[in-house]
Amino acid sequence: MHRTQHLPLLLIGLLLLPHSQPVQASEDTSNQTYIEFSPNQTYTEFSQSNISSYQIASGNADFAFRLYHLIASQNSRQNIFFSPLSISFALAMLSTGAGGDTQTQILEGLGFNLTKLSLPEIHEGFRLVQHRLSRPSPELSIKVGNVLILSQDLQLLSDFISATKASYDSKILLSNFRDTEATTRLINNYVKEKTHGKIRDLVSGLSPDERMVLVNYIFFQGLWKKPFPSSKGFVGDFYVDENTVVKVPMMLQDDQQHWYLDDRHVPCTVLRMDYKNDAVAFFILPQKGKMKEVEQVLSPDMLTRWNHLLQKRYFYRKLSLQFPKFSISNSYALDEILPGLGFQDLFTHHADFSHINQDEKLQLSKVFHKAVLDVNEVGTEAAASTGISAMFFSAKPKKRVLVFNQPFFAVIYSTSTQNILFMGKVFNPTA
């Protein structure tokens, strides 16, 4: 008889957003980046053979928002931040070792229609996304990686090794899991190195019965096209709710042009902030008392709608922007969350990972995800203290003031792959 061995899965997302030194503002819009969220869009810069990277974007977006709403239903008054693409990468890689219904549940749970997309197309899509995200750039660094930490005596099937290497460029490290201290140190040091020290001590309490650990990480470091001047920082009030006000360092951009709109159908303001090179951020600020109403309509279609509107020049207008500087970190035990998204058998004895190893009955024990959001202004020190109670108001004709001084939503999006890298809700930037 096969022994049942536990298979923990560790997923890591990291977002680091430092700001470069101030640059002279420009009124010229001729060099603006125009993007489409729709996965059906064909970009001239890509060949037809790369269409698979677009085909998986729709499924990834569907999974991202379904996961967000499930987490939000359990944490309505807390910060939410995660990397849906990191989670999708790791689970899709795991699916190469799954068989039967287990493989189907993973892929359908990730949002893929298996009657429209074949298994090779899905894995090829992830390979192309990883390749395109990892292109070196002095202005935008996105690193995506996968590593398998194996027990020294676990014999993997050659097809599984080949598949994970070919589509996910996975690395393999060997360890003696009976020496839990050494294995914990190996994993934590690896993660610390790959995330540039931002995520430390990820793993603790490993069991000597573990046989394999899967780790996926995403590291993002980008520079705004229009950075915040370090000389204009101040301390302001952030209104968490009607009874809670916290002090936060605020960054200020004055007399700049930005892509933003006041939605006529959804009670919110949407700001698009571009990074240099290949990413944009959408910040969605609900009107006072309308947080739940806006949260309920968040969806791939709504993001597509906002993205299309924010490419019309009418919405590129002069704005005085006040934005908090903060750092938040979230950890999730996804083995407690994923069953609610259709992954029913993944953590039970019904799971089939026979394509990884046929000598032992492997069972998934833990799926752990940690993400860090660091929005900061290098060298900034809080100076004056100013309380802002209004969301936005007219300072003078043709100029608006937009103040992110209450809970808001954030989506970080890769323009070249059309995938959501990170998303969440900043409920309390000091928590």
The gap from C-alpha 119 to its chain's centroid, in whole angstroms, comes to 24
Mean pLDDT for the stretch of residues 91-113: 94
Domain ranges for the chain: 4-21+32-222+327-374, 230-325+382-426
Residue with tokens 């899905």: 122
Tens digits of residue pLDDT in 339-367:
999 988 888 888 898 998 888 887 777 77
Checking if the pLDDT of 131 tops 50, the result is: yes
| pLDDT averaged over every residue in the chain | 80
Residue 307 · residue 57 · CB < 8 Å: no
The contacts of residue 295 (CB under 8 Å, 6+ apart) are 69, 72, 286, 409, 425
Give Rg (Cα) of the chain. Answer: 22
- Please report, in angstroms and rounded to a whole number, the separation of the first and last CA atoms in the chain: 49
Q: Rounded to the nearest 10 degrees, what angle do helices 158-168 and 84-95 cross at?
A: 150
Topology of domain 230-325+382-426, per CATH? Alpha-1-antitrypsin; domain 1 (2.30.39)
CATH classification of 4-21+32-222+327-374 is 3.30.70.20, yes or no? no
Output the furthest CA–CA distance in the chain (Å, rounded): 78
Residue 46: predicted pLDDT: 38
Q: What is the pTM of this model?
A: 0.83
Secondary structure class of 396 (helix, strand, coil):
strand
Residue 380: predicted pLDDT: 19
Q: Residues of the chain with pLDDT > 70: what percent?
A: 82
Residue 51: predicted pLDDT: 56
Checking if the pLDDT of 224 tops 50, the result is: yes
Across 187-196, 197-206, 221-230, least confident range: 197-206
The contacts of residue 272 (CB under 8 Å, 6+ apart) are 258, 259, 260, 280, 281, 282, 306, 307, 310
